[in-house]
Amino acid sequence: MADAAVPRFWRAIPQRYNLIANQCSTCKKVYFPPRESCPYCRRKSIGKMKNIKLSGRGEIVTFTIIHDAPEQFEGQAPYPMAIIKLDEGPKITAQIVDCDNNVKIGMKVQSTFRKIQEDGWVGALYYGYKFKPVK
Following CA atoms 105, 108, 132, 78 in sequence, which dihedral angle do they give, to the nearest 10 degrees?
-10
Q: The dihedral of CA 34, 38, 43, 45: what is its sign?
A: negative
Nearer to other proteins (CB atom), residue 45 or residue 80: 80
| 128 three-class SS | strand
Number of H helices, E strands in the chain: 2, 8
- Preceding amide of 78 cis, omega within 30: yes
Q: Are 79 and 65 in contact (CB under 8 A)?
A: yes
Footprint on residues 9-68 left by other proteins (CB under 8 A): 12, 33, 61-68
Nearer to other proteins (CB atom), residue 47 or residue 120: 120
Which of 20-28, 46-54, 88-96 is the region at the interface with other proteins (rule: CB under 8 A)?
A: 88-96
Which of 18-26, 45-53, 71-79 is the region at the interface with other proteins (rule: CB under 8 A)?
A: 71-79
Q: Is 105 in the site for other proteins (CB under 8 A)?
A: yes
Closest distance of CB 36 from other proteins, Å: 15
Q: Which positions lie near other proteins, rule CB under 8 A?
A: 12, 33, 61-71, 73, 76, 79, 81-83, 91-95, 105, 116-117, 126, 128-130
